[in-house]
Amino acid sequence: MKIRRANDSDDDAIWSMLKPVFRAGDTYAIDPDIPRQAALDYWMGECAYVAGDDEPAGTFYIRKNQQGGGAHVCNCGYVTARGAEGKGVARAMLAFSLDEARALGFEAMQFNFVLANNTRAIDTWERAGFQVIGRQPKAFRFGDGRYTDALVMHRFL
Amino acid sequence: MKIRRANDSDDDAIWSMLKPVFRAGDTYAIDPDIPRQAALDYWMGECAYVAGDDEPAGTFYIRKNQQGGGAHVCNCGYVTARGAEGKGVARAMLAFSLDEARALGFEAMQFNFVLANNTRAIDTWERAGFQVIGRQPKAFRFGDGRYTDALVMHRFL
């Protein structure tokens, strides 16, 4: 599957993938009503990528997780297009992002806010060498008032 | 000690307290060269406060730690003015911020990036009921190339 750096001409494709995920508000700690441009600014602030051969199948970003003395660790976020699930898109994006993050000079990759109920993502990342290094209790509240913990996951590159 | 919400007329006083801490680059994961206005925007983005009777003795902020489903947990940062250390300023700001965060409707407070070598702050927070819920390995690199871990600390309100 082709994966490449995103540019402004990908705005529509990226928003079409982000919109249902952000609007659902049950995986990312993002305001579900976030406007299109704010969402694109958030996603494409440093390095964003698109995956897919004919149709866009997924998108992810790589950015510094902290500034200053913490800038050697990157943070990434991944979204698979609705209808493209179960085809290895997430795994391909993860593999690409690990190589790309090394090429960009990062020494480690960290996910700051992985909902503990997202067992499929957690399994994928643990198989790729990530470890749970933190657990934030009741850190995410769903629309129906239920809570879930959020994990911090990390691996060196 | 008087503690109150900050406003734009406090810009000079707040920057005089932040500047030496940010320029030193050894406690906050902030670009040590951050410009004045960017630092003030970072600090005063939601709710910022100043502490002190005659001279400004400290400043802190309270803000949402995440958006969307994570917006019920707040994050705070504290800086004590150079020369005002050892007078209980940090403890007073912490106590005030815990009450204020409850009044703002937050359910928990979290510090995302506490350098593990900052044992004085860690002791203060543990005595105030915070627990270490995560440890980010080699997450901060000092100017001389040494690394330290960074802790995630949390308490319910």
- Over residues B28-44, the mean pLDDT reads 96
Please list, in sequence order, all residues whose beta carbon lies within 8 angstroms of the beta carbon of residue B18, skipping any fewer than 6 positions away. Answer: B39, B40, B43, B59, B79
Contact A17, A6 (CB under 8 A): no
Contact B142, B29 (CB under 8 A): no
Gap from B94 CA to chain A (nearest CA, Å): 20
DSSP type of residue B28: S
Using the Cβ of B69 and the Cβ atoms of chain A, whether some distance falls under 8 Å is answered with: yes
Over residues B54-99, the pLDDT tens digits come to: 899 999 999 999 999 999 999 999 999 999 988 999 999 999 999 9
Over residues B101-133, the pLDDT tens digits come to: 999 999 999 999 999 999 989 999 999 999 999
Contact A154, B136 (CB under 8 A): yes
pLDDT band at B23 (very low <50, low <70, confident <90, very high): very high
Across the A/B interface, how many CB contacts are shorter than 8 Å?
Answer: 102
- Does residue A71 carry a pLDDT above 90? yes
| Res A47: pLDDT | 96
Over residues A74-118, the pLDDT tens digits come to: 999 999 999 998 899 999 999 999 999 999 999 999 999 999 999
Using the Cβ of A140 and the Cβ atoms of chain B, whether some distance falls under 8 Å is answered with: yes
Report the SS3 class of residue B122.
helix
| Res A86: pLDDT | 87
How many beta carbons lie within 10 A of that of residue A82, not counting itself?
11
| Res B86: pLDDT | 87
| Res B136: pLDDT | 98
Contact B130, B154 (CB under 8 A): yes
Q: Quick one: residue B53, left, alpha or beta (phi over 0 = left, psi -120 to 50 = alpha)?
A: alpha
Q: Do A70 and B150 touch (CB under 8 A)?
A: yes
Helices (H), chain A: 11-24, 36-43, 89-103, 119-127
Which pair of tokens denotes residue B33? Answer: 């060269």
Instruction: Give the whole-angstrom CA distance, residue A118 versus residue B76.
Output: 28
Q: Do B140 and A70 touch (CB under 8 A)?
A: yes
pLDDT band at B14 (very low <50, low <70, confident <90, very high): very high
Contact B103, B129 (CB under 8 A): no
| Res B113: pLDDT | 97
Higher pLDDT, B3 or B120: B3
Which B residues, 101 through 120, put their C-beta within 8 Å of a C-beta on chain A? Answer: 107-108, 110, 112-113
DSSP type of residue A77: E
Over residues A6-27, the pLDDT tens digits come to: 999 999 999 999 999 999 999 9
Instruction: Give the whole-angstrom CA distance, residue B95 versus residue A58.
Output: 45
Instruction: Give the whole-angstrom CA distance, residue B104 versus residue B62.
Output: 9
DSSP type of residue A105: T
Instruction: From chain A, pick out residues whose CB is under 8 angstroms from the CB of B152.
Output: 134, 136, 152
Q: What are phi and psi of A98, to 5 degrees?
A: -65, -45
The three state secondary structure string of B96-107 is HHHHHHHHCCCC
Instruction: Give the whole-angstrom CA distance, residue A30 versus residue B71.
Output: 9
pLDDT band at A54 (very low <50, low <70, confident <90, very high): confident
- Over residues B27-39, the mean pLDDT reads 96
Contact B76, B97 (CB under 8 A): yes
Instruction: Give the whole-angstrom CA distance, residue A65 versus residue A77.
Output: 11
Instruction: Give the whole-angstrom CA distance, residue A137 versus residue A69.
Output: 27
What's this model's pTM, rounded to 2 decimal places? 0.95
